[in-house]
Structure 1
Amino acid sequence: MEYTLKNIEDWNIKIEQIAKSFGLDYYEQEFEFVGYKDMLAYEAYLGMPSRYPHWSFGKAYEKSSTIYKYNLSGLPYEMVINSDPCIAYLMKENTLLLQILTIAHVYGHNDFFKNNRLFKEGTRASYTVEMFKAHADAVRRYINDPSIGYQKVERILDAAHAIKLQASRVIGEIRVSDEELKEKIIEDYVNSNQRKSIIEPYEEKKIMDLNKIPLEPEEDILLFIVKYGNLQEWEKNLLEIVRQETAYFIPQIETKIMNEGWASFWHYNTLKKLNLKDELYLEFIKRHNDVIAPGIGSINPYFIGFKIFSFLYEKYGIEKIFEVRKLDRDESFIRRYLTEDLCRELNLFKYAKEADKYVIKDVADKSGWINIRNTLSSSCGMGSVPVIKVVDMSSYDKSLIIEHVYDGRELNATYAEQTLKYIYELWGHRVVLKTKDEEGDINIICDEKDKIIRRRE
């Protein structure tokens, strides 16, 4: 069905009125119509209208463009930016019904961005567009600087991208410097010395370890390299740019299932109130079912999130779902609210590799559903990223010791070795990664460029 800009504006007014009647609380909303080529570009740059140049974004664009060209995958109906005002792109090629549905979907995302605690504590929506533009301008200045140039900038960005997700898992935390921590330890020690009866041996060890770097394990590897590495100022600035942009995206990684489920829940309930004509209503049902269709051999976040929010609404009411939207992330959302009945209804199962084939380990029955829930909970969001911490730095030769927090899941050997080379590229000294597998402890060592040694302890 053909439509005009005035049609879309009228539908937007109706949708916004319904969203407000539901109690959704969102930033001012702006929409921009783009063609499919622009949508491909925005998808490659993760929605940012201005972002620094790097070959990985071009690679993502070419991949998406090729897949779309051969009709192996469609394009997103919309793309929404966590900013204030909130920016959303609507694809010109969408049908009228798709525009209506995606506008309603956008208001759900907007409400989630404004109210979920990970976004409220971990991002500054009013500064989003300016931040990405400032970063892009800075990177281009370094590229155009004759003393630096593209190759040197690319070298730093390549390495930073490889380890950017080795970041703090605590959203919105106040980072304490080693100096502040050292002062606190000394203060604790002095106070405990004044109370001789409660001094414990570990207090003595704390004072002996005051020269250790880091004083406590550091999971933000880029931050550690910025603080203690032998880098030029422009190199540190590039690492900080990657850190800040990663911090912006981590809440989205941590809430993918919730965020898409929340937006799907509200587009579904909004369109039911719009009194759509029959031809539009039939397309609505088809499009909605396409959005929440279960994945084959994978998890569709729209499907899982929509089903859990629908269950919570029916069982506990609207106040409960607003509370969950505010407080949870995917890990806790799945762990708390994916019930046995939902596991069975969603036909979930767990599979694993044995020898040279994959086999089903658990199905959604009384004995298997908890394992399925726990596996999904622990592997969603940042749970899919191994936790690696800096545990020590040699004062003699600046060797860096990093440790994988082993939780039963082994590191992929190829990725681990390549990533270690990137850390060495930034650090410039010997790097040792301590990890484990089924046979025991392993040290993976990089003490010169492109050379890896594996040793059993």
Structure 2
Amino acid sequence: MEQEFKTIAQAIETIHDQARKFGLDFFPVYFELCPADVLYAFGAYGMPTRFAHWTFGKHFYKMKLQYDFNLSRIYELVINSNPCYAFLLEGNDLIQNKLVIAHVFAHSDFFKNNIYFTATSRQMVETMAVHAAKIREYEFKYGHREVEIFLDAVLAIQEHIEPPGPFGYKEEENEENEDTRPHRRETPYDDLWVLDGRPKEPPPERNRKIPPRPTKDMVGFIMANSPELEDWQREVMAMIREEMQYFWPQMETKIINEGWAAYWHARIIRELDLTPAETVDFARLHASVLQPGYRQINPYLVGSKIFEDIEKRWENPSQEERERYGRTGGEGRSKIFEVRSCENDISFLRNYLTRELVEELDLYLYQKVGSEWVVVEKDWEKVRDGLVSRLINCGYPYIVVEDADYQRRGELYLKHRYEGLELDVSYLEKTLPHVYLLWGRPVHLETIIDGKTTVFSYDGKKNCRR
């Protein structure tokens, strides 16, 4: 075991130096070798330390079962933090660990330099440990069952937050408070009435809508405005919201992030002094990583192929590209570093997924017709736009808080920003009771079903549709 640690340590040092030579700029990375049970527990919870909940146990059981039956495997787990923590799977052979180590350094470079991670807390490992301790304290004080029921409700809507980052909408910065706004003087002599001691007429009352404009941050709005929540419940909602904001940039950069890591692990490993057997093993392993997906796109494959195409087109542009876009050539490597810094999955596919790549990767859109799945679209632009549409809001329904005082009864009115994909009605009907528990009063959700505007309501007794 000691010799294995020394060998891995030497590999880390060699790969670290090679990654630096390629220009990767990453946080300090600490590696730890873990048995499968530990690694899959980290994978299920998303972090080494997090509060306990039955959903995490369900995820762990599913992933561990797939590993036990050799259906899938987590080779590594890397945490976006400074320093960066990476966990290698005990039992990997040396070439597998070398590939994973190179992959991790590229991920860390992406975490550090991509603009969508600029608002990410780099000490979230410690923060989540504090959250976990606090929730255990609440379980002791209020009862495990009481806290679990509340966590169930919050986790049911945890994705409905305002994304962090440089482009996240800050409602409070765009609202002008009419009550504190200076009132325009009607005559040049209005100030004299103040000097005379006469009371200033109060501004006319305004019926202000709550919220003033629809807000996407459902978790934050309910946390701040629910009339029923106790202080500890608001604090739990704040914790889960903070954790979801940490995970959000990773969710909206899955393809470009994994593509960047796959692109670089291949180039770094090729620069190492491998034995013939290691070369064959690496080729086999790399091919399995880039194997096309059956029911969904493989982010490693699509992302790395796009980066390779960008590098080729900016390094050796065609005559048409030179004339049309003014590309001079020799800019391939600098261009992919630029793309790595400023794109997310949506803009990455929108801007750089070309006709040639769609055809090469055999990408298409399909849907279930009757009992069979059939291809419904192969036009490259429609395929690209279809893939992009599924990535909007990280694939979650876009739902806003429309009115928190609906019909002047303090009821919560939510609205689904319908863009062609209907909500799952069974999931919707199971989620509304959770929202009711958090708000404490009837909840309504407007959406489109079969082309018609439909409102679902829950009043604490039963769901109804109108």
- TM-score w.r.t. the length of structure 2 is 0.88
User: SS at 2:48's partner residue?
Assistant: coil
Q: Which residue of 2 aligns with 1:203?
A: none
Residue in structure 2 matched with residue 70 of structure 1 by the alignment:
69
Is the CA contact 2:412–2:443 (under 8 Å) kept in the aligned structure 1?
A: yes
**Aligned counterpart for 1:157 among listed residues 128, 151, 160:** 151
CA distance in 2, matches of 1:108, 1:39: 20
Partner of 1:29: 29
Residue in 2 aligned with 1:341?
356
Percent identity over the alignment?
37
In structure 2, what is the Cα distance between the partners aligned to 1:276 and 1:385?
44
Consecutive unaligned residues in structure 1, runs of 5 or more: 195-206
Give, in angstroms, the shift of residue 288 of structure 1: 0.5
User: Do 1:255 and 1:381's aligned partners in 2 also have CA atoms closer than 8 Å?
Assistant: no
Matched residue, 1:221:
218
Deviations 1:325-351, CA, capped at 9 Å, x for gaps = 110000110111110000000011101
Question: Are 2:148 and 1:136 equivalent residues in the alignment?
Answer: no
**Greater CA deviation, 35-44 or 400-409?**
35-44
| Corresponding letter in the other structure for 2:37 | K
1:37 Cα deviation (Å)? 1.3
- In structure 1, the partner of 2:87 is 89
Between the aligned partners of 2:29 and 2:455, the Cα distance in structure 1 is: 51
Q: Structure 2 CA distance, aligned partners of 1:265 and 1:4?
A: 27
Is contact 1:268–1:288 with CA below 8 Å preserved after alignment?
A: yes
1:10 matched to which residue of 2? Answer: 10
Change (3 A) 1:3 1:293: farther
Q: Provide the secondary structure at the position in 2 that maps to 1:87.
A: strand
Contact 1:330–1:381 (CA under 8 A) maintained in structure 2: no
Matched, 1:44 2:44: yes
Match in the other structure for 1:231: 229
1:253–1:381 CA contact under 8 A, matched in 2: no
Deviations 1:153-172 (A, max 9, x none): 11111011110111114534
Alignment of 1:22-421 (within 5 A): 22-46=22-46, 48-71=47-70, 73-121=71-119, 123-125=120-122, 127-145=123-141, 148-169=142-163, 171-172=165-166, 173=168, 175-177=170-172, 181-183=175-177, 187=181, 211-229=208-226, 230-316=228-314, 317-363=332-378, 368-380=379-391, 382-394=393-405, 396-421=408-433
- 1:199 aligns to what? none
1:237 is paired with a residue whose SS is helix
Aligned length: 429
Q: CA deviation at 1:313?
A: 1.5
Specify whether residues 191 and 95 from structure 1 end up closer, same or farther in structure 2 by C-alpha distance, changes over 3 A only. Answer: farther
For the Cα contact (< 8 Å) 1:53–1:136, is it kept in 2?
yes
Contact kept, 8 Å, 2:251 with 2:394, in 1: the verdict is no
* Alpha-carbon separation, structure 2, partners of 1:159 and 1:321: 42
TM-superposed deviation, 1:212: 1.5
Contact 1:109 1:260 in 2 (8 A): yes
1:305 counterpart letter in structure 2 = G
Q: Which moved more, 1:5-14 or 1:377-386?
A: 377-386
Q: What SS does the aligned partner of 2:373 have? A: strand
Q: Give the deviation of 1:315 after TM superposition.
A: 1.7
Answer yes or no: is the 8 Å Cα contact 1:209–1:215 preserved in 2.
no
The answer to whether the Cα contact below 8 Å between 2:27 and 2:84 also exists between their aligned partners in 1 is yes
Q: In structure 1, how many angstroms separate the alpha carbons of the residues matched to 2:185 and 2:286?
A: 63
**TM-score (norm. length: structure 1):** 0.90
Q: Partner of 2:457: helix, strand, or coil?
A: strand
Give 3-state SS (helix, strand or coil) of 1:4's partner: helix
Given that residues 252 and 344 in structure 2 are in contact (C-alpha distance below 8 angstroms), is that contact kept between their aligned partners in structure 1? yes
Question: Who is 2:460 aligned against?
Answer: 448
Conservation of the 8 A alpha-carbon contact between 2:118 and 2:165: no
Residue 182 of structure 1: how far off its partner (Å): 4.1
Contact 2:66 2:73 (C-alpha < 8 Å) held by counterparts:
no
Q: Tell me the SS of whatever aligns to 1:227.
A: helix
Change (3 A) 1:19 1:328: same
Gaps of 5+ in 2: 188-203, 315-331
- The CA distance in 1 between the partners of 2:292 and 2:364, in whole Å, is 12
Aligned residue number for residue 425 of structure 1: 437
- CA gap 1:360/1:186 in 2 versus in 1, 3 angstroms: farther
2-side partners of 1:424 and 1:256: how far apart?
Answer: 33
Distance of 2:39 and 2:391 partners within structure 1: 26
- Counterparts of 1:362 and 1:193 in 2: how far apart (Å)? 63
> CA–CA distance in 1 between the matches of 2:30 and 2:60?
25
User: Once the 2 structures are TM-superposed, how far is the Cα of residue 355 of structure 1 from its aligned partner?
Assistant: 4.3
Deviations 1:370-427 (A, max 9, x none): 1100011121263410100001122732111100001011111111111111111111
* Partner Cα separation in structure 2 for residue 153 and residue 161 of structure 1: 12
Kindly state the Cα deviation for residue 437 of structure 1 after the two structures are TM-superposed: 2.5
Q: Distance in 2 between matches of 1:182 and 1:338?
A: 41
Distance 1:83 1:292 in 2: 27
**Any idea what the Cα deviations from partners look like across 1:192-242, whole Å, max 9, x if unmatched?**
999xxxxxxxxxxxx976521100101111111111102100000111111
CA shift, 1:174, in A, is: 6.4
SS of corresponding position for 1:43: helix
1:271-292 per-residue CA deviation (whole Å, 9 max, x = no partner) reads 1111211111111111001111
Counterpart of 1:68, as a letter, is Y
CA RMSD of aligned residues (A): 2.1
